[in-house]
Amino acid sequence: MSLNAVSAISLDLDDTLWPFAPSVARAETLLQAWLIEHAPRTATLLTTPDALARLRDKYEVDHPEMAGDYRALRLGSLTAALEAVNEDTSLTTPAYEVFYAARNNVEFFEDVLPALEWLSGRFPLVAVSNGNANLALTGGQQYFVGALSAKQFGVAKPQAAIFHAAAKMASAKHAEMLHVGDDYDLDVVGATNAGLQAAWLVRHPHADAIRNPPRPGTHLTVSCLLTLCALLGR
């Protein structure tokens, strides 16, 4: 596929601009240490490095109505953990703040900031994410004209409405909006079904790329954002 006229670009955040898993792992390590210090009885629950992740996952299974609301899931699992060991549940909010600050302490892929600087000088950029990262905390906010999160907007990728809202935010026609992301189903299929152009960011070959062979003519596949810049005339 070759790019048609592109007047604006939307970008996914987690695993597109930075690796997601390392930031969450660091955040859970810091949160676990904080909880054991401020609510010592939680040590009986937090006996392994992945204890908080398992507690959060179990809470999501028990509360399917909260799926996709990452803040509510984390707050709920923290409250449940504190209650289980008779600790003060008023610690839930400050504990979450420790986690959230660390979750947004990300390390951008090395191509990202140079690419965003080049792209933002030529196109309005909009962040579109199903996650709860905050560009004001991660850094990079200066390159974007706006951001849409599924929780705040009320609709998640791959639904067309969130892509259309991004195009509206960038004052772009749907067909002239290019969406970039790492998830084939959420980003590529979602964007193209919404009438946008799409670039699938595959930094390393992975199982998703094998399960989802490209549909000819529907999207570009790029290995980094600087490659995308080159295709757009850099």
- CA 177/CA 125 separation, integer angstroms: 10
Contacts (Cβ under 8 Å, ≥6 apart) of 225? 109, 111, 112, 115, 116, 119, 180, 201
- CA-based max dimension of the chain: 60
Separation between Cα atoms, residue 74 and residue 98, nearest integer Å: 12
Dist. CA 180–CA 221, nearest whole Å: 10
According to DSSP H, which parts of the chain are helical?
A: 20-38, 51-62, 70-84, 92-103, 112-120, 135-138, 150-153, 160-169, 190-193, 207-211, 225-231
What does the block give as tokens for 19? 């690796």
Q: What is the pLDDT of residues 108-164, one digit of tens each?
A: 999 999 999 999 999 999 999 999 999 999 999 999 999 999 988 999 999 999 999
Tokens of 66: 């909260």
- Note the pLDDT tens digit of each residue in 9-32: 999 999 999 999 999 999 999 999
Per residue in 59-75, pLDDT tens? 999 999 888 889 999 99
- Say what the pLDDT of residue 209 is: 53
pLDDT tens, position by position, 171-230: 999 999 999 999 999 999 999 999 999 999 999 876 555 455 555 557 899 999 999 999
Going by their DSSP bridges, the two strands 197-201 and 177-181 should be labelled as: parallel
Least Cα distance to 166 among 151, 185, 144, 138 occurs for 144
